[in-house]
Chain A
Amino acid sequence: MTISTGPPITAKTPAAEAPPKGNRLWAWLIFLMGALYFMLPLAATFYWSLRAEKGRFGFEAYRRLFADANFMPAFSESIVNAIAAIFLSLLIIVPTAYWVRLRMPRLRPVVEFITLLPFVIPAVVLVFGIIRLYSRPPLLLTATYDSSRVLLVCVYAALSFPYMFRSVDNGLRAIDVRALTEAAQSLGANWITILREVIFPNLRVATLSGALLTFAIVLGELTIALYMAQKTLGPYMANLTRSKVYEPSAMAIVAFAITWVAMGMIAYISRERKQP
């Protein structure tokens, strides 16, 4: 049961009435210019990926890419890692952001600083630090491939903190956290119930943003997976296209398309369902 106060505070786009015509014109203009800026480099990449055969346009580069058998295992491994990292990140960040907003606003700068640490620690430094920490007893986590994988997922969750926290924080700002909490508490809900039934459902858009960003990060991540000796999509793609000329462009397009489709699926799964 979701609790709302006043006009619906669910994550729907505001009202169905069309905004003034002038607005819509601007919106179209902005969108089209944005589309142009983003599509041109991708189109140029696609153009070059078609030129693998001398003098002709063809899908030779793509054929060479898909001839390799190791794609699916690497891809599915990355997907699983991504989903695990998303859940882990959500589980940690949403309650934390909620708590900081509600109860401990003075802690906010500290929490924000920590969530921004992934930006200032180079990936190479981070992975070697992690290896140093967890390659010896009592915390020996790197001995086997699978335990290293768990470690990797935890690191990915930590890497997603900047994006997840900011999205969730923005989402929390947009809803009346205090009123919702008070209302729920007055109905006898405990914290877990509040988080599960009240906060999470109202953060649909924010958590989706965070999840998508995390997904993209995990799927494309290279350095940490390489040094953790993990066989994920990043190393696979890098190895396949190293020192090649046309295959990297094909790979970029394929990776882009696959990630986009996967994101579409995530968005679809977490779309808002009509109230019964």
Chain B
Amino acid sequence: MSKSSLYPDSRFADPAEGGAKRSPQLHIGNWLGVLPFFVFSGLFLIAPTLILAYRSFEGLNGGQTLDNYRLLTSPAVINSYGMSIRISLTTAILGGLFGFLIAWAVSLGGLPRPFRTTSTTFSGVASNFAGVPLAAAFVFTLGRVGVVTALFEVFGVNLYKSGFSLYSFTGLTLVYLFFQIPLMVLVMLPALDGLKRDWLEAAENLGATPGQYWRHVALPVLMPSILGTMILLFGNSFGAHATAYALTGGLFPLATLLIGQQISGDVLHNPGLGYAVAMGMVIIMAFSILIYSILQRRSERWLG
């Protein structure tokens, strides 16, 4: 039953309600539909995660222990989680904002069609341009001997003396956005295509300004997609480590760097702790999805 009289179209019907009307004999059939996904994920995602969980209880001298989890409450680990969350939130929000603007520009903004194709394909490549090549590219650009730094100097501005540094939180955010923004663009385009032209026209006919159209029609419709894509950006940044390591050499305590130190490094070697930190990340991710689901349900509720 639609809650908004403006849009009696069935597309806004609450999907959950529709389920109850389904004929009973399809109950098992429902599960068959998602079985391939669960089997495949079980084999290649869930099983390794369970191994991860199992080994997070491994002590330094073999045997099972809770020490690793106790260490999770140490300031160093908490700090790293905090930093990871901080950079992930920042780049998710900024990446979401700028990515949305660009996606809008190439789809609804009236730019010629080739701009959109170029942006799509470029975003595909750029979204995976990370790690050492990306850090290097920004060092080439904004490092102490970077091209843009030199350009500023031509105009008499010394970036680094004015307090800017690529090797800071700001710098890292700037670098992360290089793959966050294209991700947002690429994944939001299908959603933006779903904005019906007649809604804009209907809104205009009713005397709405573009601002009102966006505030009351377009953004609410897009909000579930925006939120969903932003959680993707959050996860993407949360799990990144190669870029941060290359750029800041471990100056910033990030959870992923911590894991790398314990599992892969040449200095520390407490794999159990590394796995426990990774499990902590899984839990944080689950928690984020919970928050996101609540927000999403709220945003979908508007749609009737």
By a beta-carbon cutoff of 8 Å, the part of chain A in contact with chain B is 7, 11-15, 18-20, 23-24, 26-28, 30-31, 34, 37-38, 40-45, 47-48, 91-93, 95-96, 98-109, 111-122, 124-126, 129-130, 132-133, 154-155, 157-158, 161-163, 166-167, 169-171, 173-176, 178-179, 191, 203, 205-206, 208-209, 212-213, 215-217, 219-220, 248-249, 251-252, 255-256, 259-260, 263-264, 267
B273 part of interface (Cβ distance < 8 Å): no
| B residues in contact (CB < 8 Å) with A | 9-11, 13, 15-16, 18-19, 22, 30, 33-34, 36-38, 40-41, 43-49, 51-52, 98, 101-102, 104-111, 113, 115-117, 119-129, 132-134, 136-138, 140-141, 146-148, 177-178, 181-183, 186-191, 193-198, 210, 224-225, 228-229, 231-232, 235-236, 238-239, 241, 256, 259-260, 263-264, 274-275, 278, 281-282, 284-286, 289-290, 292-293
In the complex, A122→B119 CA distance in Å? 29
Complex contact B36–A96 (CB within 8 A)? yes
28 contacts across the A-B interface (CB closer than 8 A):
A7-B196, A13-B193, A14-B197, A30-B102, A31-B106, A38-B122, A40-B141, A44-B147, A92-B36, A93-B37, A103-B19, A103-B33, A108-B293, A114-B38, A116-B289, A117-B41, A122-B260, A133-B47, A154-B40, A163-B183, A173-B194, A178-B18, A179-B10, A249-B136, A252-B137, A263-B121, A263-B125, A264-B117
Beta-carbon nearest neighbor of B43 in chain A: A154
For A15, give its contact among B33, B37, B48, B197 (CB under 8 Å): B197
Q: Roughly how many angstroms separate A163 CA and B284 CA in the complex, as a whole number?
A: 19
Chain A minimum-CB-distance residue to B238: A119
CB distance from A61 to the nearest CB of B (A): 13
- Least CB distance, B167 to chain A, in whole angstroms: 16
State A7–B51 Cα separation when bound (angstroms).
Answer: 50
Q: A13 touching B125 by the CB < 8 A rule?
A: no
A103 touches B22 (CB 8 A): yes
Known: A113-B286, A122-B256, A213-B186. A96 touches B44 (CB 8 A): no
Apart from the given pairs A30-B105, A103-B22, 18 other A-B contacts in the complex at a CB distance below 8 Å: A14-B108, A28-B105, A30-B102, A31-B102, A92-B40, A96-B37, A109-B289, A109-B293, A116-B232, A117-B46, A117-B49, A129-B51, A158-B45, A173-B224, A213-B124, A260-B121, A263-B121, A263-B124
Secondary structure of the A contact surface, majority rule: helix
Tell me if B189 and A209 are in contact (CB < 8 A): yes
Distance (Å) between the CB of B165 and the closest chain A CB? 17
Contact flag A124-B263 (CB < 8 Å), given A167-B186, A170-B229: yes
Which residues in A have their C-beta under 8 angstroms from that of B178? 37-38, 41
- A256 proximity list for chain B (CB < 8 A): 125, 129
- Looking at B45, B127, B228, the one whose CB has the most chain A CB atoms below 10 A away is B45
The interface residues of chain A lying within 8 Å CB-to-CB of B210 are 20, 23
Among the listed A19, A161, A167, A174, which residue makes an inter-chain contact with B194, where contact means beta carbons less than 8 Å apart?
A: A174
Most chain-A Cβ atoms within 10 A of its Cβ — which of B106, B183, B232? Answer: B232
B292 to chain A, nearest CB (A): 8
* Minimal Cβ-Cβ distance residue in A for B240: A119
In the complex, the chain A residue whose C-beta lies closest to that of B179 is A216
Instruction: Tell me the nearest residue of chain B to A108, going by C-beta.
Output: B293
Q: Which of A93, A116, A121, A179 contacts B52 (CB 8 A)?
A: A121
Min CB–CB distance A151 → chain B (angstroms): 9
Q: Let me know if B137 and A13 touch, CB within 8 A.
A: no
Residues in A whose Cβ lies below 8 Å from that of B133: 45, 248, 251-252, 255
Beyond A109-B289, A132-B51, A260-B121, whether A122 also contacts B259 by CB under 8 A is yes
Residues of B within 8 A of A107 (CB): 34
A271 to B216, CA, bound (A): 33
Q: Which residues from B are CB-within-8-Å of A112?
A: 228, 231, 289, 292-293
Q: Which residue of A lies closest to B137 (CB)?
A: A41
Chain A residues with CB below 8 A from B256, complex form: 122
> In the bound complex, what is the Cα–Cα distance between A207 and B110 (angstroms)?
23
In the bound complex, CA of A23 to CA of B109 (Å):
6
Q: Tell me whether B18 and A267 are in contact (CB under 8 A).
A: no
**Residue of A12, A91, A163 most packed against chain B (CB within 10 A):** A163
Residues of A within 8 A of B40 (CB): 92, 154, 157-158
Chain B hits for A102, CB < 8 A: 15, 18
